Structure 1
Amino acid sequence: MRGETAAHMIRRLRQAKGWSQARLAAEANRAAGLPDSLKRQDVYRYEKGKRTPREWLPFIAAALDVPVIELEQAAATGPQEKAPVTVADFLPETDPLAPLNVRQGRRIGMGDVTDLAGRVHGLRLADDFLAGGDLIGAALRELRSAVKLYREGSHAAEVGRALLSQIGELAQIAGWIASDAGRHEEAERIYKLGISAAQQAADTTLVGNLAGSLAYQYSNTGQAKEGLILAQAALEAAGEEAPPKARALYLDRVAWAHTKANEPQPAMRALGEASEALSNDSGDRAAPQYLYWVEAGELQVMESRVYTELKRPLRAVPLLREVLARYNATHTRELALYLSWLAVALADANEPEEAAATAQRVLTLSADVASERTAERVKVVLHRLEKYRDVPEVREVLDDAA
């Protein structure tokens, strides 16, 4: 490519091979015969143009199967336009999954990976019924145990990649649980650990899921700009070949990020693209097990939430009522959350009596749920009802809550 810099060339060729930055560092080390000399963070700096490879040029060229002269010419090229933001830009320079120099643990096999996968799925199913405050202890214990297994145990390359994928999946649900428990800084660290694991396993769909989950947290905790940038990077990381369910989910998160950034039109476009992606699911590209819950009804929920946030209650209320009419009442936390959106939409539609009745259901359902998400939604609902305090039904709900 004419005028391409070394930073762009290294990144382009690495991604064409489907390698993580850690994988490229390992391959360059192998070419140089110097184990562990080049680190993932070095590759990151090369790709961001913060540093020139110099003495590592021949070995990086060998790893990427490109003539060294091409990389040298690219290194001599002047600065170009700023490289797009990627998921890697949100990761710390140190690798929390770096194996110990001397592994003294037992030999890890696929049976261990299968056992971990079963526990991860069990934790995910438990999250359907229990809140973050109930599950955070178990989630953190499982994550610490899995990371220790990877860092201290010995295993074949294939087993190592499979174990990294399971650590990534575990980090996604553990991060979600930590966020639900209101432990946002801890959730951010967990998500980033998971992204690192998924990247090293070259699992782009899982990278997108983890990065999208962190973007969703950013959007909901006052970091709208960061949430939007990361949500778009997560969609890009997953790529066009991601399963339709995955693309639908990642587009939904982009829609929400645009909504929280007060960008209605891009939000609407992303919602439409999410629906189109899901409708194109022919089964040719099977979705990972962890996306079992992504279906048309969930997209309706996000659509209705976007309409509520953008103060379009005439579109939000019918959608929410349709979803709630068929929703599983045993999923207490989600039911309370969805009803909270309906209460707000009804208040925006100037239906204070109905809003009050719905708000009362939210209060009742969330009373014994150890979820920071529901607690925050209760505050939003009560705040929105304040302007109708003169309505007896509303006043009764507000007084009871107080």
Structure 2
Amino acid sequence: MSREQRGPNEKLGAVLALAGISNAGLARRVNDLGAQRGLTLRYDKTSVARWVSKGMVPQGAAPHLIAAAIGQKLGRPVPLQEIGLADADPAPEVGLAFPRDVGAAVRSATELYRLDLAGRRAGSGGIWQSLAGSFAVSAYATPASRWLITPADASVARAANTAEGADSGESSSAPLKVGHSDVQKLREAAEDARRWDSKYGGGDWRSSMVPECLRVEAAPLLLGSYSDEVGRALFGASAELTRLAGWMAFDTGQQEAAQRYYIQALRLARAAADVPLGGYVLASMSLQATYRGFGDEGVDLAQAALERNRGLATARTMSFFRLVEARAHARAGDAQAAGASLKAAEGWLERARDGDNDPSWLGFYSYDRFAADAAECYRDLKAPRQVRRFTEQALSRPTEEYVRSHGLRLVVSAVAELESGNLDAACEQGVRAVEVAGRISSARTTEYVKDLLHRLEPYGDEPRVVELRERARPLLMAPA
């Protein structure tokens, strides 16, 4: 359904011309984006002509999908105002702001928490509301630069009032007085979520409770009253949980939601004055950008994490940041820079000691993780011997705690065997990877398996390849 504006939508027509998208092309892009989100749309060139020439405003998710489709072509976010659809259903910009003011930062984060990962406002039975804007790596530019300029707020003490709580949508009659015990509960929730995510993937139902924890537990605390000391700790714990929500969304293929969570996590880390945690969020942004094919931007984000942490972060933390930088250089095709970053990462790791005051969120990182990522770097650089060497080291550690990582490493190993001409070994590792992938809920792991099967297509009639494809069929047919 649509409703009519007054006269033609000249803004939409102008932006379509700027992007070089035809009416039929826009309709096709909008339908495809809708299908990715479980929506069945049947727009055609006539529909688009009505939007432009008669000013018709499509209902539901369509305006946000139009903005996302045009944004993909232009390579930047496109707000509804720019295409003359500002009076459509609200909310596509939620979570993309990186406010300078702490109070505004609280409002920005808690507004995002009130939207679940599917983009539907919590507690609402209404139409699908948008986190539908396409992932745009350019949305990270302002958060990264503002964090680099000012990595900590001067003060975060807060005296809330009842009216403020009512405006936020919370039902409490009086604002909470937040103490260290409240913060500790959030930290424990983050630790539990990290463990479940590593073992079962971002789509496991236990992991999916993180957004609910942010909405029900973290938001009322952030909107409460607290001293500067308690507030710093609260912002830090909330930043950890928010980054986790982003990581889980990333792992399940919800890139738009992940991007919004990451931006808010970085802003909360700044309020916490926790520079290493801010670096960790930037490293997560870098990995997402790299995974999406934006290697150069991934390098920038990783280097932003490194720059502010010189002399502050532990050796193990610096090693991880250099490793993330290497991943981005490798995706960008710069073998020399990737090799230098890997060498630096290994050097920092050799300096790390058990007695170092490493942050709790870095508990996953040891030499086997370094080896696993080094293998992926050399996979991107098409150096199968190096891939095999590092993969063997990565697979040497027991995997009960890090099941998803084990599955990813098996796929990388299979690719290395295939590129070395060892088809049987590649299929053997592939079968093991499919077995692991079937035990977890991770769209990222499934994508790795799909990539392996694609690489095996030239050998499609080989019995081992046929067997692997059949074993993978239930995984590939499972709903996302």
| 3-state secondary structure, aligned to 1:168 | helix
Residue of structure 2 aligned with 1:338, choices 409, 421, 424 = 409
> May I ask how many residue pairs the two structures share in their alignment?
323
The reply on whether 1:365 has 2:422 as its aligned counterpart is: no
Give the distance between the partners of 1:280 and 1:122, measured in 2 at CA. 29
| Deviation, structure 1 residue 108 | 0.6
What is the letter of the counterpart of residue 167 of structure 1? S
The amino acid of 2:238's aligned partner reads I
Mapping of 1:214-253 within 5 angstroms? 214-253=285-324
Aligned CA distance change for structure 1 residues 161 and 324 (closer, same or farther; 3 Å): same
Q: Kindly report which structure 2 residues correspond to 1:127-142, keeping only aligned pairs within 5 A, or say none.
A: 127-134=197-204, 135-142=206-213
Is 1:201 the equivalent of 2:201? Answer: no
Partner Cα separation in structure 2 for residue 106 and residue 399 of structure 1: 55
Compute the displacement of 1:147 (Å).
3.9
* C-alpha distance in structure 1 between counterparts of 2:147 and 2:231, whole Å: 24
How far apart, in 1, do the equivalents of 2:215 and 2:333 lie?
38
Is the CA contact 2:376–2:387 (under 8 Å) kept in the aligned structure 1? yes
Give the Cα–Cα distance (whole angstroms) in 1 for the partners of residues 428 and 400 of structure 2. Answer: 17
How far residue 136 of structure 1 moved from its aligned partner, in angstroms, is: 4.6
Cross-structure match for 2:193: 123
Judging by fraction of residues, say which structure has more helix.
1
Aligned residue type for 1:380 = D
The one of 145, 152, 157 equivalent to 1:88 is: 145
Deviation at 1:362, TM superposition (A): 1.5
Q: Distance in 2 between matches of 1:186 and 1:195?
A: 14
Q: In structure 2, which of residues 167, 184, 192 is the aligned counterpart of residue 114 of structure 1?
A: 184
Separation in 1, partners of 2:411, 2:453 = 10
What do residues 175-230 of structure 1 show as CA deviations (whole Å, max 9, x unaligned)?
11111111111111111111000011111000000111011011101222322211
Aligned equivalent of 2:248: 177
* Alpha carbons of structure 1 residues 212 and 137: separation in structure 2 relative to 1, 3 Å: same
Q: With structure 1 as the length reference, what TM-score do the two structures score?
A: 0.74
Asked if structure 1 preserves the Cα contact closer than 8 Å seen for 2:282 and 2:301, the reply is: yes
2: CA distance, partners of 1:283 / 1:362: 32
| Unaligned stretches of 5+ residues in structure 2 | 1-97, 106-140, 166-173, 474-480
Aligned counterpart, 2:239: 168
Indicate the residue corresponding to 2:418 in structure 1. 347
Query: Superposition pairs for residues 376-387 of structure 1, below 5 Å?
Result: 376-387=447-458
Cα-to-partner distance string for 1:354-398 (whole Å, 9 max, x where unaligned): 101111111222124221111100111101112233543224323
Matched to 1:251, the amino acid is R
Q: Which 10-residue stretch deviates more, 119-128 or 212-221?
A: 119-128
Cross-structure match for 1:313: 384
Partner SS for 1:222: coil
Runs of 4+ in 1 over 6 A off after TM superposition: 97-101
Q: Distance in 1 between matches of 2:288 and 2:228?
A: 33
- Whether 2:370 is the aligned partner of 1:299: answer yes
Alignment check: 8 A CA contact 1:333 1:374 kept: yes
Query: Structure 1 CA distance, aligned partners of 2:400 and 2:461?
Result: 32
Equivalent positions of 1:252-331 (< 5 A) are: 252-282=323-353, 285-329=356-400, 331=402
Alpha-carbon distance between aligned partners in 1 of 2:354 and 2:428, rounded to the nearest angstrom: 42
Q: Provide the C-alpha distance between the structure 2 equivalents of 1:351 and 1:390, rounded to a whole number of angstroms.
A: 16
Distance 2:401 2:325 in 1: 29
Query: What's the secondary structure of 2:357's corresponding residue?
Result: coil
CA contact (8 A) 1:181 1:370 kept: yes
CA distance in 1, matches of 2:389, 2:356: 33
Q: Which residue of structure 1 lines up, in the alignment, with residue 221 of structure 2?
A: 150
The CA deviation at 1:155 is 0.9
Whether the 8 Å contact between 2:193 and 2:207 is mirrored in structure 1 is no
Cα shift at 1:329 = 4.3
Distance 1:105 1:206 in 2: 28
Counterpart Cα distance in 2 of 1:86 and 1:169: 17
Cα pair distance change 1:113/1:352, threshold 3 Å: same
Q: Show CA shifts across 1:300-355 (max 9, x none).
A: 11111211221111121132123213332463322211100000000110111110
Summarize deviations over 1:29-52 as a string: whole Å, max 9, x none.
xxxxxxx8xx89xxxxxxxxxxxx
Contact 1:278 1:296 in 2 (8 A): yes
TM-score (norm 2): 0.62
Conserved in 2, the CA contact under 8 Å of 1:22 and 1:200? no
Single out whichever of 370-379 and 311-320 deviates more from structure 2: 311-320
State how far apart, in whole Å, the 2-side matches of 1:325 and 1:299 are: 13
Paired residues of 2:287 and 2:328 also in contact (CA < 8 A):
yes
Gaps of 5+ in 1: 1-20, 27-35, 41-83
The answer as to whether partners of 2:314 and 2:358 remain within 8 angstroms in 1 is: yes
Residue identity matched to 2:195: L
**1:137–1:393 Cα change, 3 Å:** closer
**Residues of 1 paired with 2:464 and 2:424: CA distance?**
6
Q: 1:285 to 1:399 in 2, by over 3 A?
A: closer
Separation (CA, whole Å) in 2 of partners of 1:131 and 1:250: 23
CA distance in 1, matches of 2:258, 2:359: 22
SS at match of 2:456: helix
Residues 128, 331 of structure 1: 8 Å contact kept: yes
Pairwise CA RMSD: 2.8
Identical counterparts, % of pairs: 30
Q: What amino acid maps onto 2:282 in structure 1?
A: A
TM-aligned CA distance change 1:356 to 1:236, over 3 Å = same
Change in CA separation of 1:399 and 1:130 when aligned onto 2, cut-off 3 Å: closer
Name the CA shift for 1:86/1:237 in 2 (closer, same or farther; >3 Å): farther
The farther-off stretch of 238-247 and 100-109 is 100-109
Residue aligning to 2:40: none
Kept in 2, the 8 Å contact 1:207–1:238? The answer is no
